[in-house]
């Protein structure tokens, strides 16, 4: 079969949708109505948000803190953490769990308001429900519990409770999953609940972990500016006041734990300093006792006045030795503390003059503090803890190695200074050995005194650090709610509903078109065959309108006039082309209807037309003249019962000049009758009397009757009925056309709806029908 390949036709592509615009519009309206109901049934969600500034240790002077304390132990701990860590801390379970407990978020109370329910909170809640005890082994409820109050009696009912529970206010109520106490809310403001149905109040019980997960997942924490340390917290909730309290509580808990962590660090530093002061105090006392004993034994009153002249040259060296010995002592103290403690914070800025060592100790303290924080919600086997242990171990090794190297360097420097001092001592050989011993004692005394004074200073700094407890998170914007709800998003939902309605309807139409196996429009035939379609016959709704009349301007009459015009164009140049066969693939496609109306359209005052009912198996021509049902016709002539053609020709009764030869009786041998020479004789005889002879023949697929006479005709009108003829029939038609079993074939698409016309919805100049939209044009 040869398929007619056409160029892309946009009209043909969108035509199935345009003709069903009412379906598309209806689906969109229905979807819009459903979306409006959905919006009405959903409680509005409001976005509540706040923002806080996280104070960094390097920026504390900008926040009003004492600048002299920057870099001191206890003041740089949490402030030096990365901002990403703070984002995680705000969302940590530890903080959310405390908020759920403090605000009692496990038993929300609701009341009906119109199409949806609202959560009651604070002064809008007539009752307060306290959770006394949870039964962690009981099955968690899925249905709400209704509260009904009559006087002082409380009745609790639920689909999950076998019986209603009655109790009184301020009394313990035992539920299968928890024990609660219900009290009246003294701050209840009835004016704020005038639109609520307080007769239908109910509460929901939420398991503690479920409540924590719910609020943890509902909390959004973001960094508002990558170049700043301002964090934004937000959540969506149906009760604005409750969400504001939750965000404020989260910020408050964050500051509580931040201050607590800072105090722990400062306390550890203070304890370390107190221990060292106790040790140095004892050592200083020992040195002073030794000095006193030395003076007593050697009867020395003022050694300095006696040896000042001889020791001036040694002063520079001794001062250097004191500094080196001080550094060695600090090295010794830190090495001892570092060896004895594990996973403990190392005091900072206690006199070490080594930037690399200070940086390593600072990083070590960060990892130790982070490890201690993580251990609050994880076990030592956690991969994150193990990773921190490895990093801490590596830093310990680096710090140990650094202390050893520093001690070696100090010792080498000390040896060099002692050598210089020794050389200077030779120049004062006259100074007694007792003088040197006394100076050694004094040097030890100065070292101990310097350490003692330094430790006292650091202890005061640690105490000040503990006393100053400013919030780590400074509130930039207090928690507030946006005026307009963020959900349901009315315009988006309604717009989405319109799009959904449009898409669903177009998909339905597309599926119907894809599954359609029938000829619907002219284009279906043109895609499947190269044979021309010369007319589209509109669908007639009334039986009385099935025949055209004289001076008829109806769409049906105009369609048949187009058929006549195109048929004459096809037959032009053919001499005596008068005989036209009307056939179809199957029964019921409108052959007789087309035959009769074609005859009426061809008839003029100067043109006579004869219709021969050649479907002798299933005669249909007489249904237009029921009185002629028993009239003799073609069968009797072919059988030889009648020899005079005039005896079987009858006026149509519709238009003068149109005659019929009815089929007559149904014969037992239709094929034999149609194959004899009398049918050709009949056509030759009527050809001279009529301008056109139309043969109303049998369908081609069920029987071969029409093929027996197809060689006698000049043209074949092949009738295809819209929304009835199958597309597969076109294979049969094309095969017979290609095999030249049919002559001069043209297609006529019959019974087509107005919306499926290829060239508009109306033919001719008939009176335009009144449409519903004309009312608006007139007004």
DSSP collapsed to 3 states, 364-380? HHHHHHHHHHHHCCCCC
Q: Helix or strand or coil: residue 209?
A: helix
* pLDDT at residue number 69: 40
Give tens-digit pLDDT for 240-288: 999 999 999 999 999 999 888 888 877 788 788 888 888 888 888 888 8
Q: Give the tens place of pLDDT for each residue, 491-524.
A: 999 999 999 999 999 999 899 888 889 999 898 9
3-class DSSP state of 767: coil
Distance of alpha carbon 251 from alpha carbon 115, whole angstroms: 35
Share of residues in the chain with pLDDT > 90 (%): 48
Which pLDDT does position 79 carry in this prediction?
Answer: 42
Task: Check residue 761 and report its DSSP letter.
Answer: S
Dihedral pair phi/psi, residue 254, rounded to 5°: -60, -45
Q: Which two tokens stand for residue 529?
A: 């065959």
Helices (H), 121-182: none
Strand, coil or helix: 447 = helix
pLDDT at residue 204, rounded to an integer: 95
What's the pLDDT score for residue 758?
A: 58
Strand partners, 130: 181
pLDDT of residue 778: 47
Integer Cα distance of 436 and 443 in angstroms: 10
Output the pLDDT for position 352.
Answer: 64
* Cα(488)–Cα(256) distance, integer angstroms: 36
Q: Which of 535, 555, 590 is closest to 768 using CA atoms?
A: 555
Could you give the strand order of the β-sheet that contains 230-237, starting from the edge strand earlier in sequence?
220-223, 230-237, 46-54, 473-481
Strand bridging mode 533-538 / 473-481: unpaired
User: What is the Cα–Cα distance from 710 to 743, expressed in whole angstroms?
Assistant: 7
Q: What is the CA radius of gyration of the chain?
A: 54
Cis amide bond preceding 486, omega within 30: no
pLDDT given for residue 769 in this prediction: 52
**Residue 694: CB atoms within 10 Å:** 27
Interatomic CA distance for residues 117 and 42, integer angstroms? 8
The list of the chain residues with pLDDT below 70 reads 1-9, 56-81, 298-313, 341, 348-353, 424-434, 543-544, 575, 577, 758-779
Which CATH superfamily does the domain covering 522-765 fall into? Answer: P-loop containing nucleotide triphosphate hydrolases (3.40.50.300)
528 and 728 Cβ atoms separated by less than 8 Å: no
Q: What is the rounded CA–CA span in Å between residue 345 and residue 408?
A: 25
For residue 183, the model assigns a pLDDT of: 94
Residues 160 and 144: their CA atoms lie apart, in Å, by: 9
Cβ(761)–Cβ(752) under 8 Å? no
- CA end-to-end distance (rounded Å), the chain: 56
Q: Which of 483, 476, 487 is nearest to 247 (CA)?
A: 476
Domain ranges of the chain: 17-42+488-515, 47-253, 258-476, 522-765
């Amino acid at each position: 079969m040869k398929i007619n390949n056409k160029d892309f036709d946009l009209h043909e592509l969108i035509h199935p949708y345009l003709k069903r615009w009412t379906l598309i519009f209806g689906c969109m309206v229905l979807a819009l109505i459903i979306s409006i109901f959905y919006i009405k049934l959903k409680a509005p969600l409001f976005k509540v948000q706040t923002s806080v500034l996280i104070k960094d240790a390097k920026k504390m002077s900008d926040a009003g803190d004492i600048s002299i304390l920057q870099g001191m132990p206890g003041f740089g701990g949490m402030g030096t953490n990365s901002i990403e860590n703070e984002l995680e801390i705000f969302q940590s379970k530890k903080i959310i769990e405390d908020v759920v407990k403090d605000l009692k978020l496990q038993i929300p109370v609701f009341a009906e308001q119109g199409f949806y329910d609202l959560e009651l909170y604070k002064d809008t809640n007539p009752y307060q429900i306290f959770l006394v005890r949870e039964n962690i082994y009981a099955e968690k409820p899925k249905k709400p519990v209704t509260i009904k109050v009559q006087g002082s009696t409380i009745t609790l009912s639920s689909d999950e409770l076998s019986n209603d529970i009655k109790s009184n206010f301020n009394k313990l109520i035992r539920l299968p999953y928890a024990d609660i106490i219900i009290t009246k809310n003294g701050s209840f403001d009835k004016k704020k609940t005038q639109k609520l149905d307080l007769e239908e109040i109910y509460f929901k019980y939420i398991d503690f972990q479920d409540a924590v997960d719910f609020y943890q997942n509902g909390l959004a924490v973001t960094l508002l500016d990558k170049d700043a340390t301002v964090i934004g917290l937000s959540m969506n909730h149906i009760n604005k006041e409750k969400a504001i309290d939750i965000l404020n509580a989260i910020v408050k808990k964050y500051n509580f734990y931040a201050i607590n962590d800072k105090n722990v660090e400062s306390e550890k530093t203070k304890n370390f300093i107190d221990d060292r002061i106790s040790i140095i105090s004892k050592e200083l006392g020992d040195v002073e006792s030794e000095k006193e004993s030395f003076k007593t034994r050697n009867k020395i009153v003022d050694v300095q006045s006696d040896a000042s002249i001889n020791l001036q040259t040694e002063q520079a060296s001794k001062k250097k030795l004191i500094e080196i010995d001080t550094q060695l002592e600090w090295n010794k103290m830190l090495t001892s503390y570092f060896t004895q403690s594990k996973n403990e914070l190392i005091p900072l800025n206690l006199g070490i003059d080594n930037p690399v060592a200070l940086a390593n100790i600072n990083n070590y303290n960060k990892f130790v503090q982070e490890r201690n924080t993580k251990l609050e919600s994880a076990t030592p086997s956690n991969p994150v803890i193990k990773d921190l242990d490895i990093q801490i171990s590596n830093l310990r090794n680096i710090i140990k190695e650094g202390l050893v190297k520093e001690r070696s360097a100090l010792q080498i420097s000390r040896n060099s200074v002692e050598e210089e001092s020794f050389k200077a001592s030779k120049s004062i050989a006259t100074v007694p050995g007792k003088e040197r011993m006394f100076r050694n004692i004094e040097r030890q005394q100065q070292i101990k005194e310097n350490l003692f004074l330094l430790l006292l200073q650091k202890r005061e700094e640690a105490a000040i650090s503990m006393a100053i407890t400013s919030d780590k998170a400074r509130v930039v914007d207090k928690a507030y709610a946006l005026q307009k709800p963020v959900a349901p998003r009315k315009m988006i939902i309604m717009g989405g509903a319109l799009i959904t309605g449009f898409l669903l309807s177009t998909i339905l139409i597309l599926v119907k078109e894809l599954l359609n196996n029938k000829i619907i429009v002219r284009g279906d035939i043109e895609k499947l065959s190269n044979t021309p379609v010369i007319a589209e016959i509109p669908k007639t709704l009334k039986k009385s309108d099935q025949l055209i009349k004289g001076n008829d301007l109806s769409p049906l009459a105009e369609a048949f006039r187009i058929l006549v015009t195109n048929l004459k164009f096809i037959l032009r140049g053919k001499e005596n082309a008068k005989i036209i066969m009307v056939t179809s693939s199957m029964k019921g496609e409108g052959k007789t209807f087309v035959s009769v109306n074609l005859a009426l359209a061809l008839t003029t005052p100067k043109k006579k037309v004869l219709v021969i009912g050649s479907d002798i198996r299933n005669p249909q021509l007489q249904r237009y003249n029921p009185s002629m049902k028993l009239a003799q016709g073609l069968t009797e002539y072919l059988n030889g019962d009648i020899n005079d053609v005039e005896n079987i020709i009858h006026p149509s009764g519709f238009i003068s000049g149109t005659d019929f030869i009815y089929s007559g009786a149904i014969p037992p041998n239709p094929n034999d009758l149609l194959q004899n020479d009398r049918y050709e004789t009949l056509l030759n005889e009527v050809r001279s009397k009529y301008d056109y002879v139309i043969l109303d023949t049998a369908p081609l697929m069920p029987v071969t009757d029409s093929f027996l006479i197809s060689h006698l005709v000049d043209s074949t009108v092949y009738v295809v009925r819209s929304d009835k003829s199958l597309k597969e029939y076109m294979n049969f038609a094309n095969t017979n056309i290609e095999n030249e079993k049919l002559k001069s074939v043209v297609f006529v698409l019959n019974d087509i709806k107005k919306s499926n016309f290829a060239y508009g919805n109306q033919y001719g100049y008939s009176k335009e029908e009144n449409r519903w939209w004309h009312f608006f044009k007139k007004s």
